[in-house]
Amino acid sequence: MRATIVLCGLVPLPALAWDLELHSVGIRARVGEKRVLGKEQPESFREYDVVAAFRLPWQRYAPSGWGAGTRLLASAGILQGAEKSALVVSGVPVLALGSRDGRFTFDMGAGLALVSEHRFAQQDFGGPLQFALTFGAGIPVYRRIGVGYRFLHYSDAGLYGPDTIGADFHMVELTHRF
């Protein structure tokens, strides 16, 4: 499955077109504790989302099939905490190491997330725009079905002031590769 994304500037420059290929789709759910990169979160959160991974054009694989490539992880889901729910959407470009077919992967990246609600009782994310840091690993379990682990960190990186705190998520993934 392919999609074309065209990026154009406000100045009269040629458009840059990327022919993106859908790599996988999946569902993710949070497991784990209340720590934020060494600190304790005031609130406990749950997150459930759907994710689509698109291959970006920069790939480098050896004839053996092992190497590196870039992908864009796009997700949408629900963040729940302190009896509130928020919509979360994110776009995170990642560098993926592993097999060309995507069966065995390790990836890491940084991108942006938007949350529809940023205040949860004792915890304030600061605002709707959050930086998203991630790393994950995946393995096959049956044909095109795989499972994985993902660490996801949301933070405003001080953008909204010094009194905000982000959230960490240890997530399990179930994916289908194309």
pLDDT per residue as tens digits for the range 92-123 = 999 999 998 889 999 999 999 999 999 998 88
DSSP of 123-148, one letter per residue?
EE--SSEEEEEEEEEEEEEETTEEEE
Instruction: Indicate whether 59 pLDDT > 90.
Output: yes
Task: Give the contacts of 127 (CB within 8 A, at least 6 positions apart).
Answer: 118, 156, 159, 160
Average pLDDT value for residue range 142-167: 91
Q: Is the pLDDT higher at 1 or at 41?
A: 41
Structural domains in the chain, sorted by start:
20-177 (2.40.160.20)
pLDDT, one tens digit per residue, over 61-96 is 999 999 999 999 999 999 998 899 999 999 999 999
pLDDT in tens, 157-172: 889 988 888 888 999 9
State the burial class of residue 119 (Cβ atoms within 10 Å of its Cβ: 0-12, 13-18, 19+).
middle
159 φ, ψ to 5°?
-60, -35
DSSP E strand stretches across the chain: 2-7, 16-31, 35-36, 39-40, 45-61, 66-81, 84-99, 105-115, 119-120, 123-124, 129-142, 145-155, 167-177
State what percent of residues in the chain have pLDDT above 90.
Answer: 67
> Is residue 7 scored above 50 in pLDDT?
no
Q: Are 99 and 139 in contact (CB under 8 A)?
A: no
pLDDT > 90? residue 8: no
pLDDT recorded at residue 9:
44
**Is the model more confident about 91 or about 6?**
91
